Structure 1
């Protein structure tokens, strides 16, 4: 099923500026620039940690969170070298030797960012009740290149069309939002802010929300999804100046449920990425309903593959919550799972 975007680019515009490259681990052509590492000792160490009676969890954590493997292609090499050396499957071995959230976090880590995105999407739609939060986590606020890679890998691993799967799982409004996201037609990060375009979009946002009876989430999403972060920040500021209300409040007032969450996710990530990442991690970790481990594992492992972004999130976390992310991890989590998450954050 090949979906054609019915909405097009707003105001007839095409994404401007040179395209952002795929994130590390999202394009196999990146491997030509990757220098293989010596995995021999670590491959032996992994097997030793899981051989015989019991499992040496500390050894698994030390090896798999080594700075040597923070490049997704290095992690892929480690997994391949282990499988070839012992004629085994590292994922299956870890699943047989570990349990619970510790197991889930280790498997998410060794699968690498792209495969973990795809597996997360599959799980989100492979049970009674769709996990709309997981869909938003994986698919919203991504570069065009990463979206294309996710769509292709979903098809390759499962033989199914991602958009068709989403259509069968969500309501019409969310389907149309994800249709636009999967079209990978956002303005590239390098595209400039056009004041006239900003003014037009501010007017359209008002017409689609406060200016009418019956707000249009699809119209709002079209503007958000087809704009880059700098453009959304300019739109947000212009809207506040013109109508004396922040867009955050408008969305909270006009929309509900998963639609509201999706629109706020885009707005917050675009307005202050580091602060939004901090909130993205804090919410499942320290929420009133207790730790939402699957969300936290996905979010932490995703940021792990982007060290500068993780560092910015940690700094913002300390500013917003007046304590470190590592402190909250130690407070909220326990055992080997806690130790693994602390290691992913830099140890100690």
Structure 2
């Protein structure tokens, strides 16, 4: 999804008496809550400016902003100025500068919780009349044959709230189930991609969570993608819809599928009690956590896995970045290299996933996409899931494409085009464009 894509034309309101979806607006329309707009973007980093050149990018590409460089501004290991780590109540306003949705008294009870990302509130939809899109989709599948290009043209342009509105409108206006129609009219990885889009980010995460632990063995990569490095709000939504869909909890299902050590990590993560990104950093705690990580690993014959998992599970991304800096400064080794040396298997992959997502989310996703395509053959299932996931966040997707070019010296879309074919190829390219 290209950030330079012109905004969608404003939708006209439905006629009198037409069923109204829940009152939300498109992120580009007036009236859309500012905090919801901000959820599309990575929180501003407290770290220094990126080392990449500033100024206008060359035609057809932009500068990758790079990972946060160095420690947080004002971070000192010995004598930090008091104002650098204010311990009082958070300043007025939400975690990203938006007007605070919390009552004044709540602001003195710790940092405000994160809000769900777009598409992670069940029933939330864009307002407007989406019957034209519903009609286009029906025409593409009605009669003999299916117009795959028309399906891509309509569905690849929708954001999470619009997708929810189109699916609801299709049911009300056409009197049919869009998911079932797409499933019966398409096949292969093209169908997988379209169904993931129609489900939207929340339902698709629930589907992936179930798929990761269903049957023989565990799809560890998929469980990592769905559960790890998520905000408390999004993970709580996933757990809630999972339980409502499957009549038992995600925690219980995960417990029955993982080995003892990784079970402990995922049990902690699934509590959804990470420190919020808006919480101020405490340099004393950061230093103590870095020492604890070292003491639980390098200073022992047998790693204290529970201690390491506890630190990773409760730390915000901001705290993980600061812990990484403190660890590498104190012990002269990057924390990810230390994790690679001290752990193996799923535990190593899970901890690295959490750390590298915190350090540079765009680069981590770029590397995850390349992992789907490198070597002999393409891991198509992974590619579809990961392309759809980055597609939902336009600003992040733009950074992923830039990071991919920095890391691999080639264009991500060209790389995906070379690994896919047919309608499947056209869908993947449309989602990344």
Shift in Å at residue 290 of structure 1? Answer: 2.5
Q: Aligned ranges for residues 12-161 of structure 1 at < 5 Å?
A: 16-28=110-122, 31=124, 35-66=126-157, 69-70=158-159, 72-161=160-249
Aligned length, in residue pairs: 325
Shift in Å at residue 86 of structure 1? Answer: 2.5
- Structure 2 CA distance, aligned partners of 1:303 and 1:216? 35
Shift in Å at residue 311 of structure 1? Answer: 1.3
**What are the superposed Cα offsets for residues 96-150 of structure 1, whole Å, 9 maximum, x if unpaired?**
1111100000000110000000000111122211111111100000001011111
Matched, 1:203 2:291: yes
Is the 1:239–1:247 contact (alpha carbons within 8 Å) kept by the matching residues of 2?
Answer: yes
Is the 1:202–1:235 contact (alpha carbons within 8 Å) kept by the matching residues of 2?
Answer: yes
Shift in Å at residue 75 of structure 1? Answer: 0.6
Is the 2:269–2:313 contact (alpha carbons within 8 Å) kept by the matching residues of 1?
Answer: yes
- Structure 2 CA distance, aligned partners of 1:238 and 1:74? 43
2:425 pairs, out of 330, 338, 341, with 338
**What are the superposed Cα offsets for residues 38-69 of structure 1, whole Å, 9 maximum, x if unpaired?**
22222111111111221110000001012xx2
| CA distance 1:229–1:339, shift in 2 (3 Å) | same
Name the SS of the counterpart of 1:157 in structure 2. helix
- Structure 2 CA distance, aligned partners of 1:318 and 1:256? 29
Is the 1:303–1:309 contact (alpha carbons within 8 Å) kept by the matching residues of 2?
Answer: yes
- Structure 2 CA distance, aligned partners of 1:288 and 1:308? 29
Q: Aligned ranges for residues 271-290 of structure 1 at < 5 Å?
A: 271-284=359-372, 286-290=373-377
Runs (5+) with no aligned partner, structure 1: 1-14
- The aligned residue for residue 304 of structure 1 is 391
Q: Aligned ranges for residues 149-298 of structure 1 at < 5 Å?
A: 149-284=237-372, 286-298=373-385
- Which range is displaced more, 134-143 or 228-237? 228-237
Shift in Å at residue 223 of structure 1? Answer: 0.8
Instruction: Give the TM-score normalised by the residue count of structure 1.
Output: 0.90
- Structure 2 CA distance, aligned partners of 1:232 and 1:56? 47
- Structure 2 CA distance, aligned partners of 1:217 and 1:297? 33
- Structure 2 CA distance, aligned partners of 1:308 and 1:92? 31
**Aligned alpha-carbon RMSD (Å):** 1.5
Is the 1:37–1:74 contact (alpha carbons within 8 Å) kept by the matching residues of 2?
Answer: no
**What are the superposed Cα offsets for residues 22-44 of structure 1, whole Å, 9 maximum, x if unpaired?**
10011248x3xx65232222211
- Structure 2 CA distance, aligned partners of 1:169 and 1:223? 23
Shift in Å at residue 287 of structure 1? Answer: 2.1
Larger Rg belongs to: 2
**What are the superposed Cα offsets for residues 200-241 of structure 1, whole Å, 9 maximum, x if unpaired?**
011100111111011133321211121111211111111111
Shift in Å at residue 288 of structure 1? Answer: 1.6
**What are the superposed Cα offsets for residues 288-343 of structure 1, whole Å, 9 maximum, x if unpaired?**
24221222222221222211111111111111111111111111111111110111
- The aligned residue for residue 325 of structure 1 is 412
Is the 2:328–2:334 contact (alpha carbons within 8 Å) kept by the matching residues of 1?
Answer: yes
Is the 1:192–1:231 contact (alpha carbons within 8 Å) kept by the matching residues of 2?
Answer: no
- Structure 1 CA distance, aligned partners of 2:430 and 2:194? 12
